[in-house]
Structure 1
């Protein structure tokens, strides 16, 4: 189970209201998911693993997940959506809506949309930031259906998907195929919705420039604030600096502290334009300059604190970083 500080999901009140409308008890869902009832009674946050458990329990309790997916889309009240999801419904066209959703969705749920346009098709692929496991099938169905529903609501046209892929079956397949208007495929590594690129050009009847002018700056500020604390680079460097004295930090250990696999960590670092080896060098350099600024720390101790077994190895690395020896750098900078 992930313990990342940003792995927080608030389940909105209308989720529990929707359960009551189909005679499903929130208490029954939470008991089946083996989660505390306070999640419902006190509106507590859950992490991704707990969120998945709730959706797994939900799908096991109801008779036909596919029918519930269609019902939720029909009953969707746009006015009840959070700003990060509301803004895309008032975008200029379907493409603009998808891009806005991909940009802002992480503000309320730790998931990411990858949008790829190629030839005549556009594929939207779902990735969860703090889970190596695929999302429960019913949750995948709701998310993929909501993307298509956004296009339908915005354009006022009954758009049809080109294809939909899930990792596992989602209820009665005929019902799902009827909703999406295409064949459903299973056994995919990630959930995907593919639409026609020509549909992306369709303008939204619900386009509201004035509303976007209000929502967009606020959402962008929230995104910047979140990214400031959620940068994987900053998290990795902090863990590295804390553990340098014990030796060269291991990627598996760092990844474990972040609640992810080493493969996921490598991918996230690549997304941010770096890699583990480069970050280790940066972390050591930053710590070296910090230690050398303190004249009470001996050079041999600096090398040890940076995780170097030999002092000469530290000297060679420092020359590459600063073009000078540690002792000379300390003398020069002691006068600043």
Structure 2
């Protein structure tokens, strides 16, 4: 289940100027990506073209790690789009990240899932409406820019606690020196973990007057975009990405959608659904998907769809399928594939 997004992507302002500063030409990147040269002047591209451009950039640079760092740090604030400007001029680092997560919905194909727990704040990058993850270098640049946003905004040399990437990219020591923390490689994992205390640092770039102008415009654009989508589909997507962190609640998801709990309930009712039903539906769908993976044991499946104990999962699954998870898996995968 993916949130349905437009297939059109706005190229980051300053991208082509940024790669020129690294010694590359826009023509070289376009040719490497096997795209017409007219793409350079096009502010909007398809997801496939967008990924091809980033992949071409990755293949053309000599040092991937330096390519990540230089591009993430080289964007001038004058080239920031309105959604990023609203984050750069936020009150503090926490406010900035919240704005990035909220307004990133205007700029697919990736989204940011931000959680605070204990002494940590974790920012996870997820890809939307794509059959495969975006280029690795784009993942690295996105996570580097989120830390760079905090550094520029606070004026402090902030360090991350941990960076998790799907695969190695470039000189690991160079990246660890930039982030100021260890880097781990985990398949299907793109996360930046920072010190939660750093979120309270005020931004020296805070501009209340500019935010008063930008925020209503961005919120209106987001509202118009959301009105063109199914609320049911959006809620299911938010539930899915929040399951392993516990039981998602309607208040939290309503907040992520920028509306009150009452408004969300009303919109779901208008579409003939309700939050409790959608939660159960997503859990059912995810349970079937996870049980189809023989490497996951039943206890892991229960945790991944938000159940704290295995017995609760068994009761729910019997209500969905009329059978136990173990028997359902055996019938659908065959005894040989789970031995």
TM-score (norm 2): 0.67
| Counterpart for residue 36 of structure 2 | 36
Deviations 1:9-62 (Å, cap 9, x if unpaired)? Answer: 121451111222223222222232233332214x15223232222111111111
| Counterpart for residue 92 of structure 1 | 91
| Counterpart for residue 310 of structure 1 | none
Deviation at 1:201, TM superposition (A): 1.1
User: In the aligned structure 1, how far is the partner of 2:167 from the partner of 2:48?
Assistant: 18
User: In the aligned structure 2, how far is the partner of 1:234 from the partner of 1:60?
Assistant: 36
User: In the aligned structure 2, how far is the partner of 1:6 from the partner of 1:72?
Assistant: 26
Answer yes or no: is 1:61 the counterpart of 2:60. yes
| Structure of higher CA gyration radius | 1
| Counterpart for residue 47 of structure 1 | 46
Deviation at 1:179, TM superposition (A): 0.6
Instruction: Kindly indicate whether the alpha-carbon contact (under 8 Å) linking 1:115 and 1:125 is maintained by their aligned counterparts in 2.
Output: yes
User: In the aligned structure 1, how far is the partner of 2:117 from the partner of 2:232?
Assistant: 31
| Counterpart for residue 25 of structure 1 | 25
| Counterpart for residue 186 of structure 2 | 187
In structure 2, relative to structure 1, the CA distance for the partners of 1:133 and 1:231 (3 Å cut) is same
Residue-pair matches, total = 250
Deviation at 1:191, TM superposition (A): 0.9
SS of 2:159's partner is coil
Answer yes or no: is 1:106 the counterpart of 2:105. yes
RMSD: 2.9
Instruction: Kindly indicate whether the alpha-carbon contact (under 8 Å) linking 1:65 and 1:171 is maintained by their aligned counterparts in 2.
Output: yes
SS of 2:134's partner is coil
User: In the aligned structure 2, how far is the partner of 1:136 from the partner of 1:127?
Assistant: 12
Q: Could you list the runs of 5+ residues in structure 2 that have no partner in the other structure?
A: 244-252, 254-267, 269-274, 282-339
In structure 2, relative to structure 1, the CA distance for the partners of 1:224 and 1:27 (3 Å cut) is same
| Counterpart for residue 80 of structure 1 | 79
In structure 2, relative to structure 1, the CA distance for the partners of 1:215 and 1:44 (3 Å cut) is closer
In structure 2, relative to structure 1, the CA distance for the partners of 1:98 and 1:265 (3 Å cut) is closer
User: In the aligned structure 2, how far is the partner of 1:229 from the partner of 1:186?
Assistant: 38
| Counterpart for residue 297 of structure 2 | none
| Counterpart for residue 160 of structure 2 | 161
In structure 2, relative to structure 1, the CA distance for the partners of 1:62 and 1:172 (3 Å cut) is same
| Counterpart for residue 302 of structure 1 | none
| Counterpart for residue 208 of structure 1 | 207
TM-score (norm 1): 0.67
User: In the aligned structure 2, how far is the partner of 1:59 from the partner of 1:79?
Assistant: 25
Q: Could you list the runs of 5+ residues in structure 1 that have no partner in the other structure?
A: 236-262, 279-336
Instruction: Kindly indicate whether the alpha-carbon contact (under 8 Å) linking 1:49 and 1:131 is maintained by their aligned counterparts in 2.
Output: no
User: In the aligned structure 2, how far is the partner of 1:152 from the partner of 1:133?
Assistant: 31
User: In the aligned structure 2, how far is the partner of 1:264 from the partner of 1:223?
Assistant: 17
In structure 2, relative to structure 1, the CA distance for the partners of 1:28 and 1:210 (3 Å cut) is same
Deviation at 1:207, TM superposition (A): 1.3
User: In the aligned structure 2, how far is the partner of 1:67 from the partner of 1:161?
Assistant: 18
Deviation at 1:117, TM superposition (A): 1.0
